[in-house]
Structure 1
Amino acid sequence: MTSLDLGRLQKALAVEAERGFADLIGKQYRFSEFLCLSFGKPPVALPLDERQRWQEIAAQFAKYPELPLEERQHLVAEARRCVYHTQRYQRGDNVTKQSTKERSPHSTKTKLPPTTPLVQPLQTEAAIRIAPYLEQPLKSLPEVGVRRSGYLAKLGLYTVRDVLFYYPRDHIDYARQVNIKELQAGETVTLLGTVKRCTCFNSPRNPKLTILELVLKDNTGQIRINRFFAGARYGHRGWQEQQKRRYPVGAVVAASGLVKESKYGLTLEDPEIEVLAHPGDTIDSLTIGRVVPVYALTEGVGADMVRKAVTAALPACVHLKDPLPFRLRDKYGLMELKAAIANIHFPSDSTSLEVARRRLVFDEFFYLQLGLLQRQHKARQIQNGAILARTGKLIQTFYQLLPFELTNAQSRVVNDILDDLQKTVPMNRLVQGDVGSGKTVVAVIAILAAIQSGYQAALMAPTEVLAEQHYRKLVSWFNLLHLPVELLTGSTKTAKRRQIHAQLETGELPLLVGTHALIQEKVNFQRLGLVVIDEQHRFGVGQRAQLQQKGESPHVLTMTATPIPRTLALTLHGDLDVSQIDELPPGRQQIQTTVLSAKERSHAYDLINREIAQGRQTYIVLPLVEESEKLDVRAAVEEHQRLQESIFPQYQVGLLHGRMSSVDKDTAIHQFRDNQTQILVSTTVIEVGVDVPNATVMMIENAERFGLSQLHQLRGRVGRGAAKSYCLLMSNSKAETALSRLKVLEQSQDGFFISEMDMRFRGPGEVLGTRQSGLPDFTLASLVEDQEVLELARAAAETVIELDATLERWRLMKAELEYRYQKLMGGAILT
């Protein structure tokens, strides 16, 4: 048997594996018949034991049609290894000899020759599952080889396992076969036709472009399709004549592609083409007439190269052990792992693809949730948290000072927190609440619980404006309680900074409010018992951890005024206890929100004039113009000047932007708060933290540039007093999508609904702010489309942790969890 025949044999084995071990019917023989005949005539030059091995495999293929699926998979894998060894033997490679007993196709536990992976396997219990054949280097696969493996390494693909778990980013469905008359633009289809005409020529406009043009016909009509080849080598007459011979008149052709309009009528865009022996012939292509995987690529690595590597690796699926126990898979209706991997790459139809994708999406969510819940379980084993009293004079006095009663939602969340503070397990709770729901009051009660128990507290906010706003509000309450409180930011003077450091170390200062300045090395608390972090998603994991390390296992309360959809909360905060303040204090009015075009600007200015005439005030907010802060500042300064001189010369117009000094920012906010300026032109620095009850109009320029959650935050700056308030969303966009997004704000005041819609429009990373969102990288899973699967994965992970948080009874699952966190997430989520 020649090396060419061996290559043909490998291709037959690869196609059988890729088509689901169905004993395909070829042009002359069934797959099993072809293999039985081929292995029955081993190469004469082989050693006796190798020839015997070929004969044994031939005998097995005689029984192939009766074998169950798993035995067929093992037999095909064994046959491929046998051919591979023969190819190496013929090339003169030093093939490691194995005993016939070890390699017998009767055994389901076949062994491979030892290999040296390009990347050493992780030194964890993942070795339980990652067998040598899965860690086999790609270069050892005959279909890949050394040269192609070098290119595939650019995609991070080094081993068989890497390729199997390199999921397609998309699929194109060419499985639907139609007649030419049934073609419709925009569909992806496969058609069968005979060649009526074939021409191959150089483009008259570009001599370096060669065009292959085929006219195909069936009994319903005809179609003209083109393929384009760029490069001088395709311009030679010899190559062009070869193409014509490849597609002779009368040849039967299968073609797949996207149907689109052309000046000659409907055609297929960049089609895949294969010549068949007759209309009912088997299509051997990896793309034509099937659901085709689309992979992320890089320079020098084409789609065909990745598809062929996947096809070569697919037989190794039989060696994958499923870490999820059968009962769990059965309960949640999940496909077995090896079948899911095979079908995510080359599904037989769209239904198989959907079922396979659901299983692999479940895995991505499940191991994330398992890791978060395991971390939560470990945290709850710590028993050295401060026990804080839930009642006392300070809290009672504070309740008496409040001019209002807590809402039911606030009372519920306060009880959650005070219950946590009485445990030796440190609290780790997130409080979500819409704009104006009263999160600060809840945080103050927790802070007072710490202080009256003899501990100190720290409150960290992401911006100076927000930190100063918290400080002012706390000072007004703490003065009445005769308690000191200080503010520490980047702008705090050196002398004052030293004084604060000293008072913290002696314990004289019970509460410190600040920005990132709180995590500096010189900031040392004598007895830190509670950490409060506001707008916590704006801080990195490391920054939050640094503040916690200022004390010995302090209780942690995090807050956010940016409502997060449940799917995002589970993904980011799956290890936290979550409380929601889901009702607004009585008296808060709905804010009338209107989307206005540039033509309706005069209506906006009329409203502003009317409101200011009644003694009210207005915010005018400008969007981010460029990534350059200087350009934003210039735009803000120019707009401020235009409004002051041309539009509202009768009023005082203030200016606030991010590059102003702290003193200037404070002055601008104070002047607006005291009604010395009636209009405040600002960048998004006022998104949180500015509280002026007299402001009744929020006008936002170029509103389409903001996310819905951010617009909702800005809208929350008004409506804080008794008067009716307005939010005007100015937009120059005519795009239907942009306007439909803004209409959501006209229709709803519910922050959780708005954030859900925002995530659907923009994606989770944009909703959170991509820099510090902390989102793990999902290969297949979508937090928008796969919410139901995430909920199931969470429930499954909770069940597993309840039964055995150490995962010792599920060693494969434990190994997979370790492997995923190390390889896919870099361990960051376990920090």
Structure 2
Amino acid sequence: MADLPDWLRLQKALSVEAETGFNDLQGHQKRFSEFLRDSLRVSPANLPVIDQERWITLSQDFDKYSALSFAQRQHLIADTRRFLQQSRQLLEKPRPNVAKEPNATKFNQRPKTKSLTAQVNNLYQSGHPLDQPLTYLKGMGPKNSERLAKLGLYTVRDVLYYYPRDHLDYARQVKIRDLKPGDTVTIVGTVKRCNCFNSPRNAKLTIFELSLYDGTGTLKISRFFAGARFRNRGWQERQKRLYPAGATLAASGLVKKGKYGITLDDPDLEVLGDAQEPIDSTTVGRVVPVYPLTEGVPAPLVRKAVVAALPAAVEIRDPFTTALREEYGLIQLPVAIAHIHFPPDSDTLTLARRRLVFDEFFYLQLGLLSRRQQQQSQTQIHMAPTGKLIDQFYEVLPFKLTKAQSRVVQEILVDLQQSTPMNRLVQGDVGSGKTVVAVVAILAAIQAGYQAALMAPTEVLAEQHYRKLVEWFNLLHLPVELLTGSTKTAKRREIHSQLETGELPILVGTHALIEDPVKFTRLGLVTIDEQHRFGVAQRAKLQNKGESPHVLTLTATPIPRTLALTLHGDLDVSQIDELPPGRKPIQTTLLGGRDRNHAYDLIRREIAQGHQIYIVLPLVDESEKLDLRSAIEEHQRLSDVVFPEFQVGLLHGRMSSSDKDAAITTFRNRGTQILVSTTVVEVGVDIPNASVMLIEHAERFGLSQLHQLRGRVGRGADQSYCLLMSSSKSETALQRLRVLEQSQDGFFIAEMDLRFRGPGQVLGTRQSGLPDFALASLVNDQAVLELARTAAEKLIQQDSSLDQWPLIQKELNRRYQKLMGGAIFT
């Protein structure tokens, strides 16, 4: 075996480079990048093949370190630190034996005691297949099966795939004198005293008390039962007889410190024959699964069902061959399923979880790639990369495209020439110029004789796009129309008619575009802005208004790679990573309540210089439940008390479309100096003269949303400011907000937002189509996601139909439908 890397030295070098500002630090003999390049040139021999390849790739990346931007260096170092940690864990743990298929005898050696194995086998009536109902399991009669159905558990297979949401590690046995608050432990001792009685202070409460001694100290354990039936003396005497004085008892639970000293919080208890006897329990003295529950379904019932079903896991056929498992360092599927429920130790749990997380990511990625292949096999629409309209557009543009814009335009035009429909996502930070790029694609469609549609999530954003397109397309003598929920009936009919005759080449709008009366003659390009704000079905409905049109989606909400792969794994991704020249970084400052007057002084100075101000609040109306300023209330206060010398406008989502448009138009025309608003200004409002963005209760917003709001200023050549007002005392909340002070990089901010809040809150699970994973975490399992994506790509390249992999194809259809709510092959 090759010498293992000096992990400590590598991690220390990465840490020092990050702390000193990513400046490629000069060491005694080499620069930082040279040291990393040379250290990663040869990978450890015992790593899976795919990880060895990644090791070499990182070495090549550090060879180009000096040419990378600041943000690219940040991302490379973060990725390398995660990857090295994962590699070290793989190498320092015993390598799972994946060469042999499991058999029933070895598989059932899962528990640490033979008696528990026998107990498990006795509970299960052998010989029933995985898809039999739960009533076929011993101890799971009709009543219990009906209760488990509330969790969606109907068959033996359902129970096996009902993974725990967490585990409590009670496998560590300690002495009473060594108990520390916060630990989960097991102690074994002798019962000194046990009592059960009615509370003298609360007539509805029954108290159970037990005193345990293990030679090093005494522990008092208490339980509380509320209800009339527990006041029954017969029930109380039975509890005392369960734990008689002198009995040897094992207790497992969370160590807590209360006003009466150290204790175990609501522990699981098990009486033993003697202190040397092995603990034979599904909860005490082992790693215990914690399952998602619902009302009427207690944890012991779920555990009992799992124990009864576990022997049937040997009937699960692993779709992965031995070669596949060895390549990616995975244990066998039946073993992983057994050990995710009742692992003998935490290391085994880690290996089991890694295999099952890999499976969740793998089948999702395989489904997305299969869907992409299906889309690419559809009717082709060819569009020329050059033409009169595009040339004229470049001539009327008052500025030159940035290098990043030109690169992305070229990628789009190449797609439009292909024999398969384009499906491309363009990510770009606020103000990077995505609309101009989209217009080139729209003109390519129009000059090829097709129509184009541009859909935005809000009327404000749709109107913003419409105004820009009118400004440019008037010079090109092309008609443009806007269709929203506020469009008058007569105008709506006129638009419908012009679409059907083909007179109207481009239609901009909101969800109104997907309504049934909207019919295109020859729809060739669909452009969707901020696409994560639309549901999957809504996006598909617009695409279905043409015959396999090209699809271009835009987002000003930078999405971390893990989310992009999960949501957009079937798309090609382009990135506009350069702002137009002349833009200055926005000076961002976190302020407390005492700094409010300083903020107001800055606002007065900026207005005196002819600039304008946004003040954003999280609420429209005053809330009785939340002590937050509201837009309406604050507008009144600012107008009357703070800035009576200035014109203060108001904008919020409950205003009619015409009132919203009037408020924005007045602000754009400098009729108001200050615009008090809710997050309706988050996207689409483009006022280059605005130089200050003051955000009240900033802790109530996500980082990506704050970055979007900040992007409403800094759109001109003058210095702009973003003031984050927060009265929060939470250090976590303030730490989040300081990320905005330190970085202008939308992708870095999105990554940090993902870590702080999780993907559901960052995107909004329902609208984004984010899959609901049973185990996988997009925050903590990034390396496994990358590995699963690579595996899926290799498999699709080898056999796009998956005919060579019938078990994988079958599992793909089952899992993908469950994750994404629909079949892949439709």
Cα 1:457–1:17, aligned 2, differ >3 Å: closer, same or farther?
closer
* 1:713 equivalent among 708, 713, 727: 708
* 1:826 equivalent among 809, 821, 824: 821
Q: Which amino acid aligns with 1:20?
A: R
Deviations 1:186-221 (A, max 9, x none): 111001111222222222123443322222112221
Whether the aligned pair in 2 keeps the contact of 1:17 and 1:314 (CA below 8 Å) is no
Cα 1:147–1:547, aligned 2, differ >3 Å: closer, same or farther?
closer
* 1:364 equivalent among 336, 341, 360: 360
Deviations 1:747-804 (A, max 9, x none): 1101111111111111112111234110111111111111111111111111111111
> How many residues are aligned here?
723
* 1:310 equivalent among 280, 299, 306: 306
Give the match for residue 472 of structure 1: 467
Q: Which amino acid aligns with 2:647?
A: Q
SS of the counterpart of 2:558? Answer: coil
Give the match for residue 96 of structure 1: none
Deviations 1:447-486 (A, max 9, x none): 1111111222111111111111111111111111122212
CA distance in 2 between partners of 1:810 and 1:830 (Å): 16
Q: Which amino acid aligns with 1:335?
A: I
SS of the counterpart of 1:583? Answer: coil
**Offset of 1:493 from its aligned partner?**
2.1
Whether the aligned pair in 2 keeps the contact of 1:622 and 1:682 (CA below 8 Å) is yes
Give the match for residue 177 of structure 1: 173
Whether the aligned pair in 2 keeps the contact of 1:626 and 1:632 (CA below 8 Å) is no
Give the match for residue 324 of structure 2: 328
* 1:395 equivalent among 351, 366, 390: 390
Correspondences of 1:158-177 after superposition (within 5 Å): 158-177=154-173
Q: Which amino acid aligns with 2:270?
A: E
Whether the aligned pair in 1 keeps the contact of 2:651 and 2:677 (CA below 8 Å) is yes
Correspondences of 1:129-144 after superposition (within 5 Å): 133-144=129-140
Q: Which amino acid aligns with 1:377?
A: Q
Q: Which amino acid aligns with 2:518?
A: V
SS of the counterpart of 1:532? Answer: strand
**Offset of 1:248 from its aligned partner?**
2.8
Question: Percent of counterpart pairs with the same letter?
Answer: 72
SS of the counterpart of 2:279? Answer: coil
Whether the aligned pair in 1 keeps the contact of 2:113 and 2:278 (CA below 8 Å) is no
Confirm or deny that 1:374 pairs with 2:464.
no
Cα 1:281–1:713, aligned 2, differ >3 Å: closer, same or farther?
same
Cα 1:521–1:21, aligned 2, differ >3 Å: closer, same or farther?
closer
Q: Which amino acid aligns with 2:173?
A: Q
SS of the counterpart of 1:450? Answer: helix
Cα 1:578–1:629, aligned 2, differ >3 Å: closer, same or farther?
farther
Give the match for residue 729 of structure 1: 724
Of 133-142 and 725-734, more deviation after overlay is shown by 133-142
Give the match for residue 433 of structure 2: 438
SS of the counterpart of 1:226? Answer: strand
Cα 1:424–1:277, aligned 2, differ >3 Å: closer, same or farther?
same
CA distance in 1 between partners of 2:291 and 2:448 (Å): 59
CA distance in 1 between partners of 2:546 and 2:624 (Å): 37
Whether the aligned pair in 2 keeps the contact of 1:457 and 1:510 (CA below 8 Å) is yes
CA distance in 1 between partners of 2:480 and 2:415 (Å): 24
Whether the aligned pair in 1 keeps the contact of 2:408 and 2:437 (CA below 8 Å) is yes
Correspondences of 1:417-428 after superposition (within 5 Å): 417-428=412-423
SS of the counterpart of 1:590? Answer: coil
**Offset of 1:626 from its aligned partner?**
7.6
Cα 1:823–1:774, aligned 2, differ >3 Å: closer, same or farther?
closer
CA distance in 2 between partners of 1:435 and 1:830 (Å): 36
* 2:187 equivalent among 183, 186, 191: 191
CA distance in 2 between partners of 1:767 and 1:483 (Å): 39
Confirm or deny that 1:495 pairs with 2:456.
no
Unaligned runs of 5+ in 1: 1-13, 36-75, 85-110, 113-131
Question: What CA RMSD, in Å, does the superposition of the two structures yield over aligned residues?
Answer: 2.4
Confirm or deny that 1:154 pairs with 2:244.
no
Give the match for residue 39 of structure 1: none
Whether the aligned pair in 2 keeps the contact of 1:390 and 1:419 (CA below 8 Å) is yes
Correspondences of 1:183-582 after superposition (within 5 Å): 183-382=179-378, 384-582=379-577
Of 425-434 and 817-826, more deviation after overlay is shown by 817-826
Cα 1:544–1:823, aligned 2, differ >3 Å: closer, same or farther?
closer
Whether the aligned pair in 2 keeps the contact of 1:198 and 1:249 (CA below 8 Å) is yes
Give the match for residue 738 of structure 2: 743
Unaligned runs of 5+ in 2: 1-103
Q: Please report the TM-score for the alignment, with normalisation by the length of structure 1.
A: 0.84
Whether the aligned pair in 1 keeps the contact of 2:653 and 2:680 (CA below 8 Å) is yes
Q: Please report the TM-score for the alignment, with normalisation by the length of structure 2.
A: 0.84
* 1:759 equivalent among 754, 757, 765: 754
**Offset of 1:367 from its aligned partner?**
0.7
Of 212-221 and 313-322, more deviation after overlay is shown by 212-221
CA distance in 2 between partners of 1:630 and 1:407 (Å): 48
Q: Which amino acid aligns with 2:367?
A: G
SS of the counterpart of 1:157? Answer: coil
Correspondences of 1:779-818 after superposition (within 5 Å): 779-818=774-813
Whether the aligned pair in 1 keeps the contact of 2:699 and 2:728 (CA below 8 Å) is yes
Cα 1:574–1:155, aligned 2, differ >3 Å: closer, same or farther?
same
**Offset of 1:420 from its aligned partner?**
0.6
CA distance in 2 between partners of 1:389 and 1:406 (Å): 20
Cα 1:512–1:719, aligned 2, differ >3 Å: closer, same or farther?
same
Give the match for residue 660 of structure 1: 655
Deviations 1:636-687 (A, max 9, x none): 2222121111111111111111122222222211111111111111111111
Cα 1:16–1:365, aligned 2, differ >3 Å: closer, same or farther?
closer
CA distance in 2 between partners of 1:772 and 1:830 (Å): 22
**Offset of 1:17 from its aligned partner?**
7.3
Correspondences of 1:579-728 after superposition (within 5 Å): 579-624=574-619, 635-728=630-723
